[in-house]
Chains A and B, each alone.
Chain A
Amino acid sequence: MNSPTIDTDEVLVDCQSVWKIFGDKSDAAIKAVTEGGLTKTQVLSDYNCVVGVSNASFQLRRGEVFCVMGLSGSGKSTLIRLLNRLIAPSLGKVLVKGKDLARLGAAELREMRARHIGMVFQSVALLPQRTVLENAAFGLEVQGVPKAARNETARKALELVGLAEWVDRYPSQLSGGMQQRVGLARALAADPEIILMDEPFSALDPLIRRQLQDEFRQLTKKLGKSSVFITHDLDEAIRIGDRIAIMKDGVIIQIGTAEEIVTNPADAYVAEFVAGISRLHLVRARSVMGSVADYRSRQPAVSIDQLPKAAPEADIDELIGLSMQSERDGIAVVDKGAIVGIVTVRDLLHGVKGTRSAAPTAGAPAS
């Protein structure tokens, strides 16, 4: 899961305490919510306004895939539309590449959307009267790139998604998965740094979905793109997200890596979500290990040097393999030559079950 060697500290999208309230009296509602602390249901009954996004803050860094996971009505689709200002926030700021979207003029905003922010839709939205190639070249056409040049770029983008043979077909001749690849190629052809993915794979069948998830992740990493990816499927978020934000009722409840969220859910809602997730490849040695001193006090007879050794990044699956080959009941976790902890069989079982044996380690919820 390592990112290529680019400046991963650079913040591309900075979402600062953003609110979106829909309705005629949204101005009054926003005041009541921020000053009076009204709940979502109170706002609905008192002001007839719907809270879409409530005080959301996060940052998208260069090169990462940031997943926003939530059920329908959680505000995730509203959130992603705030990032390219298809929806203007009621309160708060969205900065893209350091520029406040609210302060851009109409032409600057168009320029920002055309060159720096690509978007892929759940509905795909391919123009039915245009060929696959013309659809893929659409963004460049809008920018006024001459036909030969934009077709060339679009052709390359279609090659990237494996549709080189289909350029002259019409969208209606393609399967759902292929249509979504065209949608991705259209976003890639304009070569934006940021790609907004609005539940792109939700309507596809499971096998195709998984294939596209893997391809999407490989492609974004290879091209060094950054992406905000909306999904209602936690498996999908874990599969492709470097970091995941969990949303409920317009609020971001927790932000963290898949491992952090699975091993250390912020509340009962998140815990319920992650309950069914397999931890074999998610939980790593460093988050289940106990301290060396602890192990010594319980097993004074065992020499720690003779235990099998594993890296802190080794996952549960690997650790189970190691402990099955060994007669001892512990695995030493070695970081930079020093033993930093011991994983016992009991720790492993806790790791698989998702319960906690040692004191909590990494994974505090981000603010």
Chain B
Amino acid sequence: MDSSALTDMFDAWIDAALEWLVDNGDFAFSLLRSMLEGFYDGILWVLDLPPFYVVAAVFAVLGWRLMGLGSGLLVGAALVFCAAMGLWPETTSTLALVVTATVLALAVALPTGVVAGFWPAFDRVLAPVMDLIQTLPPYIYLLPAIALFGFGPATAMVATVVVALPPALRLTSLGIRLTPVEFIELGQASGMNGWQMFYKIRLPFAMPSIMAGINQSLMMAFGMVVIAGIVGSGGLGQTIYEAIRTLDIAKAIDGAIAIVVLTMVLDRLSQSGAGIGQGAQP
């Protein structure tokens, strides 16, 4: 059949491309891998250095400053609960994975989003790419990543970064694009240059949108980190994956509860952080 021949050709081409990348890009990918793992190990080292109650206390204080005393205590209690289930090492490595992946994703998404906000043609090119990333099943990204980076947290991070990119990028671009016209006029009439217009007018108005994007990216990263348990991400994802493989339902549910608790903690923290980003509006 004509069409299956075409498909075979396409598949062969993909395989060849990946093989070529593995053969020829080995040095670059090894370097990238050790950089990613170094970043991840650093954050994990900081989280694992003090005993769990110190980390929980630090998060509790953060929650107290951002959201008030009650919420702060709740955040602390949630982390202590994860430790009480005997999942503290898994919790810290999941946290480290999510944080590093989100930071890397934002490092790409925010500047790219700003450029796309200013340059509609670029935005139109990016839109279908973002659509593709968001509609493909997330574990699709694990395969090429495992081919290039091997088994381990670096692979999980690369796949997570890809999945976490679109929300922050799209909402940043939207926020920059939707600056109210009257404030653009104010800026022009005040004699602003382009840079002043950006950081004194466009950025403050885009901030709520950008913050919503960061929060959404963080949530996407959480979702992906669990799936990435398949490729040896470590942490709660791997705990759940292995429990499922051995049909250890109790363990799987423990891990799931810890993930939910952790997700809620980071979601609330980042949302209230977004509130502060919007400026002190009484």
B185 neighbours in A (Cβ, 8 Å) = 81, 86, 119, 121, 125
Taking the closest CB of chain A, its distance from the CB of B168, in whole angstroms, is 21
Residue of B nearest to A142 (CB): B190
Can you offer 12 A-B residue contacts whose CB atoms are under 8 A?
A112-B191, A113-B190, A115-B191, A117-B189, A127-B183, A129-B280, A129-B281, A142-B187, A142-B196, A142-B200, A170-B282, A196-B189
Residues from chain A with Cβ under 8 Å of B190 in the complex: 113-114, 119, 138-139, 142, 190
Q: Among residues 161 to 193 in chain B, which have CB atoms less than 8 Å away from a CB atom of chain A?
A: 180, 182-183, 185-193
User: Which residues of A315-335 have CB atoms within 8 Å of chain B's CB atoms?
Assistant: none
Q: For residue A81, which residue of chain B has the nearest CB? A: B185
Report the bound CA distance from A170 to B191 in whole Å: 24
Q: Please tell me if B278 contacts chain A, counting CB pairs below 8 Å.
A: yes
In angstroms, Cα B189 to Cα A141, docked, is 13
User: Is there an interface contact between B183 and A125, defined as CB atoms closer than 8 Å?
Assistant: yes
* In the complex, A159 has a CB within 8 A of chain B: no
A121 contacts B186, C-beta separation under 8 Å: yes
Q: With A121-B182, A125-B182 in contact, is A142–B191 under 8 Å at CB?
A: yes
List 18 additional A-B contacts (Cβ < 8 Å) besides A86-B189, A110-B192, A111-B191.
A86-B188, A109-B191, A113-B188, A118-B189, A119-B186, A119-B189, A121-B185, A121-B186, A125-B186, A127-B201, A129-B280, A139-B190, A139-B191, A142-B192, A142-B200, A172-B282, A173-B282, A190-B190
Most buried by A among B190, B193, B196: B190
Query: Is A170 touching B189 in the complex (CB atoms < 8 A)?
Result: no
Residues of chain B within 8 A (CB-CB) of A142 are 187, 190-192, 196, 200
Residue of B nearest to A139 (CB): B190
Instruction: Tell yes or no: B138 within 8 A of A by CB.
Output: no
Complex formed: what's the CA distance from A90 to B185 in Å?
Answer: 19
**A residues less than 8 Å from B192 (CB atoms):** 110, 142
Query: Would you call A227 an interface residue if the criterion is a C-beta within 8 Å of the partner chain's C-beta atoms?
Result: no
In this complex, what residue of B is CB-closest to A115?
B191
Interface bracket on A: 20 to 34
| Residues of chain B with a CB closer than 8 A to A119's CB | 185-186, 189-190
Nearest CB of chain A from residue B158's CB, rounded to whole Å? 37
Q: In this assembly, does A146 line the interface, its C-beta being within 8 Å of a C-beta of chain B?
A: no
A121 to B184, CA, bound (A): 12
Chain B residues contacting A112 (CB-CB under 8 Å) are: 191
Residue in chain B with minimal CB distance to A198: B185
Of residues 171 through 191 on chain A, the ones whose CB sits less than 8 Å from some CB of chain B are 172-173, 190
Closest A-chain residue to B186, C-beta based? A125
Tell me the nearest residue of chain A to B204, going by C-beta.
Answer: A129
Chain B residues contacting A129 (CB-CB under 8 Å) are: 204, 278-281
What string of 1s and 0s marks CB contacts (under 8 Å) between A280-299 and chain B? 00000000000000000000
Q: Which of B183, B188, B191, B204 has the most CB of A within 10 A?
A: B191
